[in-house]
Amino acid sequence: MKIAPSILASDFSRLAEELKDIEKGGADYVHLDVMDGHFVPNLSFGVPIIKALRSCTNLPFDVHLMTYHPEEYLEGLEKAGTHMVSFHVEAVPHLDRMIHNIKDRGMKAGIALNPGTSLASIDQVLPLLDFVLIMSVNPGFGGQKFIPYSLDKIAALSAMIKERGLTIPIEVDGGVNKDNAPLLKKAGAEILVAGSSVFGKEDRAAAIRDLKV
Query: Which residues, other chains included, contact 50 with Cβ-Cβ below 8 Å and sequence gap of 6+?
Result: 32, 34, 61, 63, 76, 77, 80, 82
CB nearer to Zn ion: pick between 18 and 173: 173
| Site map (CB under 5 A) of Zn ion, residues 90-119, x = contact | ------------------------------
180, amino acid identity: N
Query: Which residues, other chains included, contact 33 with Cβ-Cβ below 8 Å and sequence gap of 6+?
Result: 6, 7, 8, 44, 64, 66
- Is 173 assigned a catalytic role? yes
Which residues of the shown chain bind ligand DX5 in the complex (CB under 6 A)? 6, 8-9, 31, 33, 64, 137, 139-144, 173-176, 193-197
CB nearer to ligand DX5: pick between 165 and 204: 204
SS3 call for 87: strand
Give the active site residue among 33, 36, 62, 210: 33
Half-sphere exposure of 44 (CA within 13 A, CB side): 27
The option from Zn ion, ligand DX5, none interacting with 192 (CB < 5 to 8 A, set by class) reads none
33 contributes a contact to Zn ion by CB under 5 A: yes
Question: Minimum CB separation from ligand DX5 for residue 162, in Å?
Answer: 26
Cα–Cα nearest to 122, from 100, 152, 149, 96: 96
The option from Zn ion, ligand DX5, none interacting with 25 (CB < 5 to 8 A, set by class) reads none
Catalytically active residues, by annotation: 33, 173
Contact footprint for Zn ion (CB under 5 A): 33, 64, 173
